[in-house]
Amino acid sequence: MPNEELVLKWRDALTSVVFELFENTQIHARFGYDRRTLKADVIRAILVRTVVVQTGGNPVLQKKLGAAVECLEISVVDSGVGFFGSKHKRALLASDSLAEEWTCLRECLDKHSEEAQHLPEGDPRGIGLYEVLRALHFLRGAIQVRSGRTKAYRSFFTGDHQIQMESRESRTRPGMPKVRMLDFDNPVRPSPTENTEVKGVAIRTLVPLGWL
């Protein structure tokens, strides 16, 4: 039987994942480029279900897939302006480089100390999607993000490659994940793969069950 302290930490980490995903779509998907509320027909949805997977990331990085793992999937989808539009307050153009869009996605996963001043009065504010990364690191889970032309992931599944981590001597995030994502289609490329552009953002998280 798992000890009570571990169960509480697992519960708190899972709560952080759910809260930050809800908050992200609440803050970013409701507003247009001009920061005005979008029409009521904007799509925002959440999916919670159990699934069976063999890896939390891309199997390209694995020589052999491990055993199937039962997971809790928590996903959010919206048809808002996306990460790029939320940052630059305009639509993505064909002339915008994929590298710039990839950088924007990574920045949106970090903490947003300046975000509160742009929010309508009364809106809550967490510490950003980086908290999801940190919680998934503890939960040994994974995240997949689709926005604009990018498709990225980060996995902390047992057996998946644990890369892009802060050192134990780091003054800010010792032993925690760096704000990095891997290309879902080809994680060994030095640059992201270009996908067909989609509207809004889709974030899928996977939390393995049964390891407590």
d(CA 7, CA 1): 10
Amino acid at 120: P
Q: Is 9 exposed, middle or buried (0-12, 13-18, 19+ CB in 10 A)?
A: middle
Residue 159 has pLDDT above 80, yes or no: no
Beta bridge partners of 142: 155, 206
Instruction: Specify whether the CB–CB gap between 110 and 179 falls below 8 A.
Output: yes
- How many alpha carbons lie under 13 Å from residue 151 in its C-beta half-sphere? 12
CATH classification of the domain holding 198: 3.30.565
Share of the chain above pLDDT 70, in %: 84
Residue 33 has pLDDT above 50, yes or no: yes
Interval 62-93: pLDDT, tens: 666 667 889 999 999 998 888 899 889 999 99
Q: What is the pLDDT of residue 50?
A: 96
Edge-to-edge strand ranges of the sheet holding 69-78: 44-53, 69-78, 198-208, 142-148, 150-155, 182-183
Based on the structure, what is the number of domains in the chain?
1
pTM for this prediction: 0.84
Interval 177-192: pLDDT, tens: 778 888 988 887 778 8
How would residue 162 be classed by pLDDT, with cut points 50, 70 and 90? low
Per the structure, the complete domain to which residue 34 belongs is given by: 4-208
Angle at 109 between CA 54 and CA 23, to 5 degrees: 95
Interval 95-144: pLDDT, tens: 999 999 999 888 888 755 444 444 444 443 445 688 899 899 999 999 99
C-alpha to C-alpha distances, 19 to 10, 46, 91, 165, 202, nearest whole angstrom: 14, 12, 27, 24, 16
Which has more confidence, 166 or 40?
Answer: 166
What is the mean pLDDT of the segment spanning 15-24? 88
Q: What is the pLDDT of residue 48?
A: 92
